Structure 1
Amino acid sequence: GDNEFHLALVVDDFDAAHAHHKKMGCICYENEKMGIYFINDPDDYWIEIVPVRR
């Protein structure tokens, strides 16, 4: 769609979240250098998934 914004969620276990979303088939974009990825929700909005920074 013509989405102009997105939500970002911080996850404690990035690898587990990534594996779960990959299994669901909802990852729409990945940037391995930045260590983030995006998933699509049912309404086609992008949700950014980022690891907690410690």
Structure 2
Amino acid sequence: MFLPFCAPPAAESRRQYQRHKLEMMKAWRDSLEARLAALNAAISTVEQQIGQDGE
């Protein structure tokens, strides 16, 4: 339980929450970009292998 005189101002609390949310979303984006790059590389490799098998 927070006492009124110990609680942070609502605007600052919201700002901190928004900063945390932004950092979390950026981390998700970075993770997804890495996974997408790996998937694209795997697709490219399989396409090359298919092309070599056809020759």
TM bucket by the smaller chain?
under 0.3
The structure with the greater share of residues assigned to strand is: 1
The structure with the greater share of residues assigned to helix is: 2
Q: TM-score, normalised by structure 2?
A: 0.24
Q: TM-score, normalised by structure 1?
A: 0.24
Which protein, 1 or 2, shows the higher relative CO under an 8 Å CA cutoff with sep ≥ 6?
A: 1
